[in-house]
């Protein structure tokens, strides 16, 4: 059990090192890792987010809660809807999303609608629906909300969006920890981790951390080659095919002889 010991030591250090802030309650937090390497055998990864609530004065009244969000790099998206035309199902309407995170997980100490007020959710863009930025959607389709619902449904099905209510453990209104599982179909880039402290539905402190997700080793090499020297990469793929095809033919004729 080396990890918890290390964890508490780090926490103690963080508590000591944290600068005094004006806020009566502040977060001191750390991550188990600030980089994730995607190698050939990558099959998802777990990050541990831990920390403590630092107080200058006795805790005020009201329930204290912790919300942790992990957000992958955002991309633009096109959502298409199929409709029946002349007996066959074809894409008809389409809607354009300005930015939707490729991965989004929310972990909380309780039900999100109980621990976070609507105005605060709007301000900090915390619930998965709010994390998707879609401006001017209403002009693109008759029922744009259906498209957003579909986006949520598909992303949750793919495990790319996740809402883990009650998965953050908060002890003595001071120490908290949460595990967030990153899936195997991860996109490269910077993953933004936000740790928010709420009391009575209002956000009282927020901390940002970044986890770098990068392809490593063979994965990194092949990806770089494919994008920087595409012709060479293509020829390499063909050479591989030619050698394998020829090799199998030779091998089989030797077996038969």
Partner 1 sequence: MQLYLPIAEVSVNAFLILGLGGIVGFLSGMFGVGGGFLITPLLFFIGVPPAVAVATGANQVVASSISGVLAQLKRKAVDMPMGAVLTMGGFLGSGSGVWVFRKMTALGQIDLFVQLSYVLFLGLIGAMMLQESLRAWFRAKSGAPIRRSHVHTWVHGLPLKMKFRASGLYISVLPPLAVGAIVGFLAAIMGVGGGFIMVPAMIYLLGMPTKVVVGTSLFQIIFVTAFTTLAHAVTSQTVDILLAFLLIIGGVIGAQIGARVGVRLKAEQLRILLALLVLTVSFKIALDLLIRPTELYSIMPGMLP
Which residues of this protein are in contact with partner 1, per CB under 8 A?
38-44, 75-84, 87-91, 94, 96, 146-147, 150-151, 153-155, 184-188, 215, 218-220, 222-223, 226-227, 230-231, 233-238, 240-242, 244-249, 252-253
The least distance separating partner 1 from the CB of residue 115, rounded to whole angstroms, comes to 30
Taking the CA atoms of residue 124, residue 214, residue 79 and residue 153 in that order, the dihedral angle to the nearest 10 degrees is -70
Residue nearer to partner 1 on the CB measure, 125 or 220: 220
Q: Is 173 left (phi over 0), alpha (psi -120 to 50) or beta?
A: left
Residue nearer to partner 1 on the CB measure, 21 or 224: 224
Q: Which residues contact 96 (CB under 8 A, 6 or more apart)?
A: 76, 77, 78, 79, 134, 137, 140
The least distance separating partner 1 from the CB of residue 210, rounded to whole angstroms, comes to 20
Rounded Cα–Cα distance for residues 113 and 71 (Å)? 20
Residue nearer to partner 1 on the CB measure, 2 or 257: 257
Backbone phi, then psi, for 237, in 5-degree steps? -60, -40
The least distance separating partner 1 from the CB of residue 152, rounded to whole angstroms, comes to 10
The least distance separating partner 1 from the CB of residue 15, rounded to whole angstroms, comes to 38
- Work out the angle at residue 196's Cα, subtended by the Cα atoms of residues 191 and 198, and round it to the nearest 5 degrees: 160
The least distance separating partner 1 from the CB of residue 165, rounded to whole angstroms, comes to 25
Residue nearer to partner 1 on the CB measure, 41 or 172: 41
Query: Dihedral of CA 242/247/250/255: which sign?
Result: negative
The least distance separating partner 1 from the CB of residue 178, rounded to whole angstroms, comes to 24
Residue nearer to partner 1 on the CB measure, 146 or 173: 146
Helix, strand or coil, per DSSP, at residue 2: helix
The least distance separating partner 1 from the CB of residue 101, rounded to whole angstroms, comes to 13
Q: Is 200 left (phi over 0), alpha (psi -120 to 50) or beta?
A: left
Rounded Cα–Cα distance for residues 126 and 118 (Å)? 10
Residue nearer to partner 1 on the CB measure, 23 or 94: 94
Q: Any idea which residue has 């389709």 for tokens?
A: 141
Residue nearer to partner 1 on the CB measure, 26 or 36: 36
């Amino acid at each position: 059990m080396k990890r918890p010991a290390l964890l508490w030591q780090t926490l103690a250090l963080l508590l000591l090192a944290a600068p005094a802030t004006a806020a009566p309650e502040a977060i001191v937090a750390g991550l188990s890792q600030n980089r994730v390497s995607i190698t050939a055998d990558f099959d998802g990864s777990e990050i541990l987010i831990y920390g403590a609530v630092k107080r200058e004065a006795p805790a005020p009244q009201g329930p204290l809660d912790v919300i942790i969000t992990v957000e992958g790099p955002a991309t633009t998206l096109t959502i298409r809807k199929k409709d029946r035309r002349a007996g066959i199902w074809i894409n008809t309407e389409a809607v354009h999303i300005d930015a939707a995170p490729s991965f989004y997980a929310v972990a909380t100490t309780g039900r999100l609608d109980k621990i976070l007020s609507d105005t605060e959710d709007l301000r900090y863009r915390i619930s998965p629906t709010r994390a998707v930025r879609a401006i001017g959607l209403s002009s693109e389709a008759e029922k744009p909300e259906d498209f957003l619902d579909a986006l949520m449904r598909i992303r949750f099905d793919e495990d790319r969006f996740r809402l883990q209510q009650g998965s953050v453990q908060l002890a003595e209104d001071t120490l908290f920890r949460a595990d967030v599982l990153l899936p195997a179909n991860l996109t490269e880039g910077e993953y933004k981790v936000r740790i928010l402290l709420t009391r009575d539905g209002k956000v009282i402190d927020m901390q940002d951390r970044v986890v770098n997700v990068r392809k490593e080793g063979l994965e990194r090499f092949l990806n770089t080659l494919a994008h920087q020297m595409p012709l060479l990469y293509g020829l390499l793929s063909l050479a591989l095919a030619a050698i394998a095809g020829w090799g199998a033919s030779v091998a089989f004729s030797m077996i038969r002889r």
